[in-house]
C-alpha cells in the first residue's frame, strides 16, 4: 500500500510519459482493455470536478431516497400495493448511489482504480443490478398507471401479493443478468478514466459483444417499448375522456362537469401518471448516453475518450437524484405526510386530496363497490 500514499497521477507532475492504462496498479493491468492504452492520463482538474459532482449527487440521492422510503413506509395511507413500486425504486436508487459514489471519489483522488480486481467486479455488478431494478421499477409504475386509467374497473385489482411477486421476479432476473459477467459472459473492467468499472464494451469477440446486445434488450429496449405502449394508451384514454366530458357538458347545457366526484378522481390519477411519465423521461435521458457509449464501443462507431465515457456514467447515476425530487414535488399525499413528519422539508402550496381512495389501484376498486 506504500504506492498509494500519494495520488497515482503524481507521474504527470514528474513528467513521465505513460498512458492512462499504464497508470493503474499492476494487479488489475490484465483487466484493462487495449483501447485505453492510446490515451494519456487525464488532467487532475477533471478528477476533482468529477469527484465533486458525484459527491453532491450522492448526498442528494441518499438523503432524498431515504426520505421517500421513510415517508411511504411510515404512513398507513401510503402503504398501498401500487406504492410498493415507488418504494422499491427509491431503495434501488439509494443502493446504487451508496455503492457507486464513494469508490468513484476515492479512486478519483488517486487518479486510477486502487481497490483491486474483486472490488472492480463487485462495483460493476452493483451498478448493473441496481440500475436494472430501477428501470423495471419505473416500468411497473407505468404499467400500473396504464391499468388504473385505461382498464379501470375491468382490471384485476393489484394486491400486495401480486405486487411482491412482480418485484421478486424483477430482482431475480436482474440479479441473474448482473451475475453473468462473473461467469464468463462478458466481464467487468475499469473504464473511462479508470475510476469506475463496467462491462467490457470494447471486447472484440462476438460472445462478449452479444451479452451487451442481449442485455440491452432486457434492460433498455423492452422497458422502453412497454413504457411507450402504456403512455400511448394512457394519453389516448385521457383524450377520449376529455372529449366525452365536453360532449356531455354540451348536452346538459352546462359549462363543465368537473365538479363530479368521478372526474376529480380521474384528474388525480392523470396527475400521478404525469409524475411517472416525468420520472421515466428523466431516466431515458440519463441512461441513453451510456447505452450509446456501449453500442459505440462494441460496433467501433465512435472514438470514445476517457472523459466522455466517465461523464456518461456519472450522468446515468444522476437519475437516482431525480426520482425523489419528482415524487416529492408532485405526489399530493406524499407532500401531506412529509409536512406532518418533516415540516422543515415541506414547501409549496398544499394541495387538497379530493378522494384518497384514488391514490392506489385497489382502493379505486373499493370506491366503486
Sole residue written with cell 406532518: 340
Higher pLDDT, 230 or 302: 230
- The pLDDT score that the predictor gives to residue 40 is 86
User: Is the separation of the CB atoms in 190 and 113 below 8 Å?
Assistant: yes
Question: Residue 343 CB: number of other CB atoms within 10 A?
Answer: 9
CA 263 to chain centre: 32
DSSP state, residue 147: I
- Residue 329's pLDDT is 63
**Nearest in space to 206 (alpha carbons), one of 304, 302, 299:** 299
Q: Using alpha carbons, list the distances in angstroms from residue 140 to 1, 21, 324.
A: 46, 41, 17
| DSSP β-ladder status, 196-199 and 188-191 | antiparallel
> What mean pLDDT is predicted for residues 185-192?
92
The confidence band for 256, taking pLDDT boundaries of 50, 70 and 90, is low
Show me where the domains of the chain are located. 40-368
- CATH class given for the domain over 40-368: mainly alpha
Inform me whether the pLDDT recorded for 29 exceeds 70.
Answer: yes
pTM reported for the whole predicted model: 0.83
**Helices 222-252 and 261-299 sit at what angle, rounded to 10 degrees?**
150
**Cβ atoms within 10 Å, residue 246:** 12
- Residue entry with cell 421476479: 169
The angle formed by the CA atoms of residues 240, 141 and 357, to the nearest 5 degrees, is 70
In whole angstroms, what separates CA 153 from the centre of its chain?
31
Inform me whether the pLDDT recorded for 98 exceeds 80.
Answer: yes
For the segment 34-87, what is each residue's pLDDT rounded down to a tens digit? 888 888 888 888 999 999 999 999 999 999 999 999 998 888 888 889 889 999
Q: What's residue 12's pLDDT?
A: 45
Amino acid at each position: 500500500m506504500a504506492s498509494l500514499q500519494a495520488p497515482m497521477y503524481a507521474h504527470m507532475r514528474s513528467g513521465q510519459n505513460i498512458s492512462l492504462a499504464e497508470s493503474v496498479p499492476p494487479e488489475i493491468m490484465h483487466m484493462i482493455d487495449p483501447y485505453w492504452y492510446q490515451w494519456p492520463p487525464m488532467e487532475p482538474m477533471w478528477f476533482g470536478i468529477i469527484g465533486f459532482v458525484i459527491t453532491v449527487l450522492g448526498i442528494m440521492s441518499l438523503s432524498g431516497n431515504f426520505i421517500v422510503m421513510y415517508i411511504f413506509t411510515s404512513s398507513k395511507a401510503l402503504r398501498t400495493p401500487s406504492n410498493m413500486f415507488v418504494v422499491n425504486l427509491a431503495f434501488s436508487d439509494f443502493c446504487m448511489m451508496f455503492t457507486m459514489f464513494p469508490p468513484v471519489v476515492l479512486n478519483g483522488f488517486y487518479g486510477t482504480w486502487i481497490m483491486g480486481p474483486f472490488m472492480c467486479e463487485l462495483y460493476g455488478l452493483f451498478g448493473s443490478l441496481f440500475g436494472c431494478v430501477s428501470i423495471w421499477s419505473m416500468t411497473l409504475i407505468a404499467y400500473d398507471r396504464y391499468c388504473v386509467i385505461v382498464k379501470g374497473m375491468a382490471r384485476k385489482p393489484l394486491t400486495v401479493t401480486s405486487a411482491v411477486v412482480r418485484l421478486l421476479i424483477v430482482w431475480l432476473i436482474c440479479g441473474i443478468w448482473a451475475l453473468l459477467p462473473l461467469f464468463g459472459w462478458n466481464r467487468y473492467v475499469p473504464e473511462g478514466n479508470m475510476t469506475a468499472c463496467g462491462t467490457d464494451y470494447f471486447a472484440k469477440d462476438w460472445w462478449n459483444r452479444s451479452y451487451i446486445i442481449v442485455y440491452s434488450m432486457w434492460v433498455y429496449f423492452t422497458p422502453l417499448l412497454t413504457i411507450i405502449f402504456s403512455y400511448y394508451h394512457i394519453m389516448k384514454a385521457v383524450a377520449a375522456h376529455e372529449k366525452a366530458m365536453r360532449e356531455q357538458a354540451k348536452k346538459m347545457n352546462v359549462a363543465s362537469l368537473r365538479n363530479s366526484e368521478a372526474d376529480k378522481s380521474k384528474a388525480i390519477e392523470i396527475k400521478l401518471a404525469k409524475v411517472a411519465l416525468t420520472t421515466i423521461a428523466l431516466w431515458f435521458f440519463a441512461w441513453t448516453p451510456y447505452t450509446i457509449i456501449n453500442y459505440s464501443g462494441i460496433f467501433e462507431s465512435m472514438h470514445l475518450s476517457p472523459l466522455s465515457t466517465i461523464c456518461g456514467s456519472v450522468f446515468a447515476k444522476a437519475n437516482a437524484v431525480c426520482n425523489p425530487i419528482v415524487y416529492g414535488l408532485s405526489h399530493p399525499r406524499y407532500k401531506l405526510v412529509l409536512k406532518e413528519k418533516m415540516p422543515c422539508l415541506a414547501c409549496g402550496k398544499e394541495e387538497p386530496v379530493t378522494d384518497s381512495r384514488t391514490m392506489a389501484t385497489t382502493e379505486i376498486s373499493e370506491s366503486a363497490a
